[in-house]
Amino acid sequence: MNNQSHRMTRVAAARAIAAALLALCFAFVGLAMPAEAQQPQQQRRTLLEMLFGRRVQEPYYYAPAQQAPRRMARPPRKKAAPASPPRQIVTQPDEPPPAEKLDTAQKILVVGDFLAGGLGSGLDDAFSNSPGVVIDTRGNVASGLVRQDYYNWPQQLPQMIDQVKPAIVVVMIGSNDRQQMIGDGLNEKFGTDAWYMAYEERVQDFAKLVTDRHIPLLWVGLPSFGSDSMTADVVKLNQIYQSKVTSIGGEFINIWDGFTDENGDFVITGSDINGQQVRLRTADGINMTAAGRRKVAFYVEKSARRLLGDQASPDITRLDTDNAAINADLPPSEVNQPLRTQPISLSDPNLDGGAELLGAAISPAPSTQSPRDLLVEKGEMAPAPAGRVDDYRLKRAAP
């Protein structure tokens, strides 16, 4: 009984202590509430933090270890070099300016569509150093031989020839002719047999406007194009140009191989006139670049120089300068007088007063006749030397 009462006493004492501690805790909480109300942003403390206080932990940041900066060794001071003289800039000489054209220069008339306009600029470059040649380009970009209602070449070309009076006429036309033919009572769709028959007649009539005046005609064929269908049509048109132009005395210039590869396919990049790989055609596969226009002119240039002869030579101004230097020593009354020389006969053997070559000696007359003279004059043949294959004489027997 005593032990049980003693145990109950200890339990009651413990409960009293716990109640006192709990009351004390509520008292602390009540005192801390106003302070926390004034600081609403601070984190609320737990019961243990109120009893034993909050442990403040410093935030931890990772700071990589920094190496001490190394001391850079200073490079040795260079001795001041003696002042060098100012460098002379050597400039490349500019391209020679185009030669001044002569008043008596021969004119080349270039007619056609937009490709003819590019050909004319290429010929200007080709004959820029030839003072005896002038290029006159008169093309219409959207013209052709089909739509005479838009631009009538049979009416315009004779007027141009009368005005320019060219020594050569260059034609490059047909790129715009793949369309319906209109004019002269015709209304034919492209590609029909009637269309091709009418087109052949127009090509021949157009070429005769030049050849009937006895003017050299250079008809330039069309190149390949980026469109396969257009290229196939151009092949047929080139065949018409070649057959009709050559039949009336004109010259057809084929440029097809210059703008295709080894298989005959269209190319954008190819060799220029110097053999360098350059871009010849534009992105649309139709027009020409500057290098392409110059390449087309290269084909025409060879035939034009052959027809013009010395007039296309770039040295014609130098020859005039030499004549002026020679005439400078003559009196004014004899400057324009022609120099007269004594005529010489081509059959005269004594052109310089002598009948023999220098160092020549008269050969002595032979004392005996040659085998040739014996055979021709007397019909005798000299016996063959002994031992030769044609020596048929019998050998003498040894005694």
What number is the average pLDDT over the span 73-100?
57
Name the strand (E) or helix (H) holding 169.
strand 168-172
* Crossing angle for the helix pair 228-247 and 193-211, to the nearest 10 degrees: 50
Q: Nearest to residue 195, comparing CAs of 235, 236, 253?
A: 236
Torsion angle of the four alpha carbons 292, 297, 299, 302, in this order, in degrees rounded to the nearest 10? -150
Q: What is the pLDDT of residue 58?
A: 47
With bands split at pLDDT 50, 70 and 90, how would you rate the model's confidence at 187?
Answer: confident
pTM for the model: 0.58
Q: What is the pLDDT of residue 84?
A: 53
The pair of structure tokens assigned to 179 is 């369309």
With bands split at pLDDT 50, 70 and 90, how would you rate the model's confidence at 238?
Answer: very high
Q: Nearest to residue 312, comparing CAs of 134, 171, 100, 118?
A: 134
Q: What is the pLDDT of residue 373?
A: 80
Percent of the chain clearing pLDDT 90 (strictly above) = 45
Q: What is the pLDDT of residue 33?
A: 53
Which amino acid is present at 391? D
Number of CB atoms found within 10 A of residue 376's CB: 11
Number of CB atoms found within 10 A of residue 173's CB: 25
Task: Tell me which DSSP letter residue 187 carries.
Answer: E
67 phi and psi angles, rounded to 5 deg: -80, 145
With bands split at pLDDT 50, 70 and 90, how would you rate the model's confidence at 123?
Answer: very high
More confident of the two residues 383 and 399: 383
Q: Which domains does the chain have, with CATH numbers?
A: 106-309 (3.40.50.1110)
pLDDT tens column, 300-355: 999 999 999 888 888 776 544 445 444 555 555 555 555 566 665 655 555 555 56
| Residue 171, pLDDT above cutoff 80 | yes
Q: What is the pLDDT of residue 40?
A: 46
| Selection from 29-33, 183-187, 267-271, 392-396 with the highest mean pLDDT | 267-271
What number is the average pLDDT over the span 269-290?
93
Q: What is the pLDDT of residue 218?
A: 97
Q: Please report where in the chains the tokens 């040649």 appear, as a residue.
A: 133
| Residue 375, pLDDT above cutoff 60 | yes
| Residue 60, pLDDT above cutoff 50 | no
| Residue 256, pLDDT above cutoff 90 | yes
Q: What is the pLDDT of residue 310?
A: 85
266 phi and psi angles, rounded to 5 deg: -65, 140
Which amino acid is present at 310? D
Q: What is the pLDDT of residue 64?
A: 44
The C-alpha atoms of residue 236 and residue 258 are separated, in whole angstroms, by 18
72 phi and psi angles, rounded to 5 deg: -85, 130
Percent of the chain clearing pLDDT 70 (strictly above) = 67
What number is the average pLDDT over the span 273-279?
92
With bands split at pLDDT 50, 70 and 90, how would you rate the model's confidence at 35?
Answer: very low
Q: Please report where in the chains the tokens 């900066």 appear, as a residue.
A: 69
Q: What is the pLDDT of residue 312?
A: 84
Q: What is the pLDDT of residue 59?
A: 43
Kindly report which listed range (68-77, 178-187, 358-367) carries the lowest average pLDDT score: 68-77
| Selection from 69-73, 186-190, 250-254, 384-388 with the highest mean pLDDT | 250-254
Q: What is the pLDDT of residue 354?
A: 58
The pair of structure tokens assigned to 206 is 């157009």
More confident of the two residues 164 and 392: 164
69 phi and psi angles, rounded to 5 deg: -60, 135
Contact 202, 145 (CB under 8 A): yes
Number of CB atoms found within 10 A of residue 287's CB: 15
Task: Tell me which DSSP letter residue 332 carries.
Answer: G
Q: What is the pLDDT of residue 337?
A: 57
385 phi and psi angles, rounded to 5 deg: -60, 150
The C-alpha atoms of residue 33 and residue 44 are separated, in whole angstroms, by 10
Helices (H), ranges, 136-227: 153-164, 193-211
Q: What is the pLDDT of residue 167?
A: 95
Q: What is the pLDDT of residue 140?
A: 92
Q: What is the pLDDT of residue 71?
A: 61
Contact 306, 298 (CB under 8 A): no
Q: What is the pLDDT of residue 380?
A: 80
**How long is the chain?**
399
The C-alpha atoms of residue 270 and residue 338 are separated, in whole angstroms, by 53
